[in-house]
Amino acid sequence: MPRFSSLTPLAVFGLTLLLAAAPEAQITATNAFPGVSFQSPVEMGMAPGQPNRVYVVEQGNGTGRARILTLEVGDSAPTVFLDLDDRVRAGGEQGLLGLAFHPNYAANGRVFVHYSGQPDGRTVVSEFARASGDPLAADPESERVILERSQPFGNHNGGKIAFGPDGFLYIGLGDGGSGNDPLGSGQDTSTILGALLRIDVDTVPAGATYGIPVDNPFASGGGRGEIYAYGIRNPWKFSFDSLTGDLWLGDVGQGRWEEINKVRNGGNYGWNRVEGPECFQRTCTLSDYDAPVFSYPHNNTDQGGLSITGGIVYRGTDVAGLEGAYLYADFVFPRLWSLFSGTTPGTATSTLLSSSISNISSINEGPGREAYVVTYGGTIFRLQGTSTAAAPGASGAGLIRVDGPNPVRGEAALVLSASGGEPVRVRLFDARGRELAVLNEGAVAREMRLVVDLETLGVAAGVVFVLAETSTLRQSVRLVVTG
- Summarize pLDDT for 393-448 with one digit per residue, the tens: 233 446 888 888 888 889 999 988 887 678 899 999 876 567 889 999 988 877 88
Question: Which domains does the chain possess?
Answer: 16-385 (2.120.10.30), 400-481 (2.60.40.10)
Distance, CA of 400 to CA of 321 (rounded, Å): 14
Residue 78 has pLDDT above 60, yes or no: yes
Distance, CA of 331 to CA of 362 (rounded, Å): 9
pLDDT band at 144, cuts 50/70/90? very high
Distance, CA of 479 to CA of 465 (rounded, Å): 6
Exposure class string for 277-307: b at 16+ Cβ within 10 A, else e? beebeeebeeeebbbbbbbbebeeeeeebbb
Exposed/middle/buried for residue 135 (C-beta within 10 Å: 0-12, 13-18, 19+): exposed
Q: Report the mean per-residue pLDDT for the chain.
A: 89
445 touches 368 (CB < 8 A): no
Of 241, 441, 220, 266, nearest in space to 341 by CA? 241
Interacting residues of 432 by C-beta distance below 8 A, sequence separation 6+:
324, 325, 340, 341, 342, 343
pLDDT band at 471, cuts 50/70/90? confident
Distance, CA of 421 to CA of 410 (rounded, Å): 30
173 touches 195 (CB < 8 A): yes
Of 357, 349, 328, nearest in space to 430 by CA? 349
Greater pLDDT, 164 or 63? 164
Interacting residues of 285 by C-beta distance below 8 A, sequence separation 6+:
none
Give the type of residue at 321.
Answer: G
Read off the pLDDT of each residue in 159-163 and give the average, rounded to a whole number: 97
Distance, CA of 162 to CA of 114 (rounded, Å): 10
- Cis upstream peptide for 119 (omega within 30°): yes
Return phi, psi of residue 187, to 5°.
-105, 15
Of 336, 314, 312, 334, nearest in space to 323 by CA? 314
Read off the pLDDT of each residue in 130-145 and give the average, rounded to a whole number: 98
Residue 213 has pLDDT above 70, yes or no: yes
Distance, CA of 47 to CA of 108 (rounded, Å): 12
298 touches 305 (CB < 8 A): yes
CA atoms within 13 A on the CB side of 226: 22
Distance, CA of 274 to CA of 289 (rounded, Å): 8
Greater pLDDT, 115 or 62? 115
- Prediction pTM value: 0.80
Quick: pLDDT tens for 277-336.
999 998 999 999 999 999 999 999 999 999 999 999 999 988 877 889 999 999 999 999
Lowest-confidence region among 221-225, 251-255, 373-377, 385-389: 385-389
Other CB atoms within a 10 A radius of the CB of residue 139 amount to: 15
474 touches 397 (CB < 8 A): no
Quick: pLDDT tens for 14-48.
334 545 433 434 689 999 999 999 999 999 999 99
Check residue 406 and give its pLDDT: 82
156 touches 233 (CB < 8 A): yes
Quick: pLDDT tens for 453-464.
998 888 888 778
Read off the pLDDT of each residue in 224-251 and give the average, rounded to a whole number: 98
pLDDT band at 388, cuts 50/70/90? very low
Check residue 431 and give its pLDDT: 64
Distance from chain centroid for Cα 377: 19
Lowest-confidence region among 160-164, 188-192, 344-348: 344-348
